[in-house]
Amino acid sequence: MLESCLHALDALGPEGLPALTGTLFLAGLAGGASHCAGMCGPFVLAQMARGEGLGGGRLARLSGALLLPYHGGRAIGYAALGAAAGGFSAALAQLPGLHVVPPLLLGLAAFGMLAQAVPALAMHLPRPGLMPPRLGRLLEGPGAWRCLLLGLLLSALPCGLLYGALTAAAASGSALAGALAMLAFVLGTMPALVALALLGGFFHRRAAPWLRRWAPLLHGFNALVLLALAIRLL
């Protein structure tokens, strides 16, 4: 079983999975400032305002800003989605005439990344709706389990950047590779959210606008890498 899973990690070629995980990490890094800080920022700031880890000096504040249970919940949710997407597409690719599924998915993911770089295209991607009442209730009380559940539930919110990353993870060739790809994406989104938790309004006023100017270049580069992977598989 383990040997089969590890062999499936080479479905994109020997350099395919490292390229895919690196691309999704950069996508998360760019999207963290240009997208995630706006979408998930209220949840992050609400947890900080509740006083999680703020007492006891700078070290405690840094520990609180990491919000590890919250990001742990996001990681579990995104990894599960990546595993489901990777496993499903791997099964499809085994059917006669459907070997083109991975390169097609990579091409779609490249378009999704390009849409993040070009505002005119991004207008047509799904946008998040209003916050469901149950998510709001999770912010009413402290507790690591509440934060973990909040992160887990937020991983299911509609998001164009997420759909692009999931499409790329689906092309990875296995459930394990899909989960690893989405974990790389989550790690990429964390720096901006941690900076937002630490710096609050200062991050929004100073750092975020500068990062947003550079984000389209990273998304464009990611689109080229995914497109190159797709062409290699054809």
- Residue-wise pLDDT tens digits, 39-59: 777 777 777 766 554 444 555
What gap in Å lies between CA 126 and CA 128, rounded to an integer?
7
In the prediction, which pLDDT does 150 show?
84
Give residue 153's pLDDT: 85
Is 12 a domain residue? Answer: no
Residue 79's identity, in one-letter code, is A
82 lies in some domain: yes
Q: Do the domain assignments include residue 180?
A: yes
pLDDT bucket at 64, cuts 50 / 70 / 90: low
> What integer pLDDT is reported at residue 46 of this predicted model?
74
How many independent structural domains does the chain possess? 1
Q: Which residue has the tokens 């790329």?
A: 168
**Domain span including residue 79:** 20-233
Residue 15 lies in a domain: no
Residues 6+ apart with CB under 8 A from 94: none
DSSP state of 54: -
Per-residue model confidence as pLDDT tens digits over 118-158: 764 554 444 444 445 555 555 555 577 888 888 888 887 77
What length is written for the chain? 234
- The pTM (predicted TM-score) of the whole model is 0.79
